[in-house]
Amino acid sequence: MNIAILGATGAVGSECLKQTLAAGHDVRALVRSPAKIPASLQDRVTLIEGDGLVAADVRRLLGDGVEAVLFAVGVVKNSPEDLCTDVTRNLLAAMPECGVRRLIWCGGGSNIVEDDRVTLGSRFVELFARLFMGIKQRDKAHQLALLAEHHEIEWMGVRPLQMREGAHRGIYRIGFDRYSGLSSISFADCADAMIKMLDDDTWLHKAPIVQY
């Protein structure tokens, strides 16, 4: 499959990059700093230098037969408000023009959705995120609301809780199980769950929790 990645230099995105290449996919990545891609991978991926906030750069990324997009843009301390939402807006505009239908994204477990089994633990996660991760929590909520308006796009995603370094095990739970502030997943297995959605419609227009 011909796959485009946004956020390929981040913790989850770099795992998406490594795992898609290992699986034999053709990969294109939009990056602001191509030098941040490991030298061992640079010859195996088509690097598009640009910014997801620039609509023309997103359209360049989606050229040359791209079939699906992996969205792993991360929000850090100095990120602009609604970074992920605005990049997603550019994607949603460009995808129909470029004939791309499938979008897999990484959200956040602090955003409660209708399918969740809401518990005290999930309410604590939401409150904690609002108090201490405000810009990230708001952005992911706005991104999900934007996606919900676009059923013509084959979007789906995962909502991890605590993410950490760890082995690529390929064994985890995905769905709408109970979760809490202690729920966790490695960056590698979060990427694994995203990649498996490339050719699986189980979670179409859904965003399940991924956790051990």
CA distance 49 to 29: 8
- Residue 68 reports pLDDT greater than 90: yes
- Rounded to two decimals, the pTM is 0.95
Q: Residue 90: what pLDDT?
A: 98
What domains sit in the chain, N to C, each tagged with a CATH number?
2-206 (3.40.50.720)
- Residue 77 reports pLDDT greater than 80: no
Q: Residue 130: what pLDDT?
A: 86
pLDDT tens, position by position, 1-21: 999 999 999 999 999 999 999
CB contact at 8 A, 48 and 57: yes
pLDDT tens, position by position, 79-138: 899 999 999 999 999 999 999 999 999 998 889 999 999 999 999 999 988 888 888 899
Q: Residue 70: what pLDDT?
A: 98
Instruction: Tell me the one-letter amino acid at 198.
Output: L
Residue 106's closest CA among 194, 172, 21, 206? 194
